[in-house]
Each structure stands twice: as structure tokens, then as C-alpha cells.
Amino acid sequence: MLICDLRPGVRAVIDTIDAAPADEKRLREHGFDEGVEVELLHRAAFGADPVAVRVGNASVALRRSMAAHITVSIREGAELTPQAAE
């Protein structure tokens, strides 16, 4: 599953990053790495940019074209965060 396909508030773990070397480096500099837990915070309406992702304690905005290079797995028992459940 791609990170941009998550529902807002759902946590997942990064499986792979499959991007051009410069893009992959940029993502890793922002904390995106295999095994790291992430949470989709927000998606723009109608498939527009950007998507907002929590990585560690940081919130990072990504273009969908960049987010399409990040595959994730939903953690077993992953729940909506309290903010998303409201």
C-alpha cells in the first residue's frame, strides 16, 4: 500500500522507498526510512497535493508524486489517533 493511500489517522510502517537517488536521499533526510512508523495526517481534496505525514515528532508535507514512492504496511491493531477518531 502506498503511504498516500492510508486513511488519515492510521499508523503504518515504511516497507520500501523506491525513488530516484536524489529523491530517496531527500526523503531519508526528513526521517523516512524502512521500519519507521508514520501516520497520514491529511490529504488534500480531490487527489491534489500535498499529503501531510507524521514521521517521529515531525510533520512533513509531500507531493503525491513523491509519496507514491513510499510503500507501507498497516501495523496489526493500528488504531486511529485520538484526533482522527473525533
How many domains does the chain contain in total?
Answer: 1
Measure the CA–CA gap between 66 and 14, rounded to whole angstroms. 14
86 neighbors 9 (Cβ within 8 angstroms): no
Predicted confidence at residue 77, as pLDDT, reads: 62
| Residue span of the structural domain in which 31 resides | 3-15+24-77
The SS3 of residue 47 is helix
Which mean pLDDT values do the consecutive 10-residue runs of the chain (86 residues) have?
A: 92 96 96 96 84 95 94 76 47
Dist CA 76 CA 60 (whole Å): 24
d(CA 80, CA 32): 21
Q: Is residue 85 part of a domain?
A: no
pLDDT value of residue 84 = 46
Residue 72 lies in a domain: yes
What is the rounded distance in angstroms from the CA atom of residue 79 to the CA atom of residue 25?
30
